[in-house]
Structure 1
C-alpha cells in the first residue's frame, strides 16, 4: 500500500536506499541522505518535497517522491524492491496531476530496466541520455587560444550570464527561467565557481564553465562555447581552468563531467583525457496537462 513518508519509515527507507546503491541496475534519482537523521531533514523537513513509500507486509519496499523541477516536477525513484511498483508510480503521477504540474520527469540509470519499463508502461517517453565521467587528481591544463582570455567571474552578472547561456546552449533552457536573484544566489559562496572566456579585442563573452565543489568531489555542471568560437580549443581551455581551480583545493580528489548523447565531441575528449564513464542516465518525461 502507498503511504506518505513518516518518521517511523525513515530507518527502513535508509536501508532501501543503501540497497539501491549496491547495483547500478537499481539506481534512479534519489535523496542523498542515507541515515534516518539525514532523511528527516531532506525528506520530511523539506517544504517542497512530497514523498511516499510502498509498504509490503508492513515494511518499506518502495519509494518515490515529487520535487519541483523546471516548469514541472522531477520524480525521485521509483525505487522498488518488492510489491507493486506500478501502483506506486501511478500514485505519484496522480499526485503530480493534482498538484498542477505540467510535466513530470524521471532519471533512471540506463541499465535500470525495471524502472524504465514501469515508466514506459504509464506513458513516459525517453528524451535523451546523459553520460557521466570521472577522473582522479591530474593536470588538465591547456593553453588559452590566441585572441582569447579566461577569467573567474566574480560576481556573476545575471544578464551577461543569461545572454551567453542562450547563445552557447543548443538544446537546454533551464537557466533562462531563473530570475536575477536566483542566479546571484546560485553563485554566492565557495561551492560554485564560474569561469568565462572573452575575446581579447572586444571583451565579448564567448564561453563559460560552471564548477561545483562538494567535499572531496568537484563537478563541471555546465560548459559551453558560442558557435562562432568553437573548434579552436576554447572549451578544452575552460575545462583546464576549472580543473586547475578544483584541484588547487587539497580536499578535492575527483572531478566529474557530463555529456549528453548529442555531444559526441565532448564524449571523445573526456575519454581521450582519461576520464572514466561512471554512470549513464536516461531522462524521461510525461506531459500531464
Structure 2
C-alpha cells in the first residue's frame, strides 16, 4: 500500500479523534499511552476541534499522519510537542533547552512493518529540527514496550539515562530517549 505522510488539516478533527480512539483500543495502549479509551471517548467535539486547530497552527504542536492511497484512511500518526526552555514537562522537570517531544505514536496493526512509522518519524523529526533553537527530539518509552523501543533505537534514538515513573503506576518507569540533530 502507498502512503502520503502529511500534517493534519484544520477540518480533520473527526479523523484525529478516530485515530486516537483506535490507538487506545490497541492491546499495547496501557504501555504506550497515558489516557484511557473511556476518558478520551467522553471528550466533547470542541476538544477535538481545538486540538486539531493547535496542531495546524504548528508552532507548539504538529500532528503527522500516514494517509493510505487511495482509500484516504489514516493508518498511523505521531504528534510533535515543542517544549520551551524553563517550562515544566509532564514529569514536573524543568526543560533546560528548547526541544521537541514525540508523543501519541501509533500505527494500525495491519500497517506495521511497512515503513509507515519510519516515514512518519522522518517527517516529524525534520519538522522539529527545522524549528529555530530545537537542539534535540526526545520521547519516553515504557520499560516493557520492547517493540517500540526497538524501533526507536533503529531510527537513531538513544537512552539518556533519564526516567520517570509511569503515571498511574509508579512501580513502572518510562525511559527517556533522544535524537540529536544530524551533523552538517
Per the normalisation by structure 2, the TM-score is: 0.67
In structure 2, what is the equivalent of residue 197 of structure 1? 66
2:43 is aligned, of 166, 178, 199, to: 178
Which one has the largest radius of gyration?
A: 1
Distance across 2 between alignment mates of 1:280 and 1:192: 22
The one of the two structures with greater contact order (alpha-carbon pairs below 8 A, sep at least 6) is: 1
1:1-289 matches, within 5 Å, as 147-155=2-10, 157-169=12-24, 170=26, 171=29, 172-173=36-37, 174-187=39-52, 188=54, 189=57, 190-215=59-84, 216-272=98-154, 273-277=156-160, 278-284=162-168
Q: Report the Cα offset of residue 179 of structure 1.
A: 1.8
Per the normalisation by structure 1, the TM-score is: 0.44
Q: Report the Cα offset of residue 230 of structure 1.
A: 1.0
Gaps of 5+ in 1: 1-145
| Closer, same or farther: CA 241–175 of 1 in aligned 2, 3 Å | farther
Q: Report the Cα offset of residue 156 of structure 1.
A: 5.4
Q: CA deviation digits over 1:103-146, x for unaligned, max 9?
A: xxxxxxxxxxxxxxxxxxxxxxxxxxxxxxxxxxxxxxxxxxx6
The answer on whether the counterparts of 1:212 and 1:219 sit within 8 Å (CA) in structure 2 is yes
Q: Report the Cα offset of residue 195 of structure 1.
A: 0.7
Gaps of 5+ in 2: 30-35, 85-97, 170-184
The answer on whether the counterparts of 2:14 and 2:48 sit within 8 Å (CA) in structure 1 is no
The answer on whether the counterparts of 1:195 and 1:210 sit within 8 Å (CA) in structure 2 is yes
The answer on whether the counterparts of 1:194 and 1:209 sit within 8 Å (CA) in structure 2 is yes
The answer on whether the counterparts of 1:168 and 1:227 sit within 8 Å (CA) in structure 2 is no
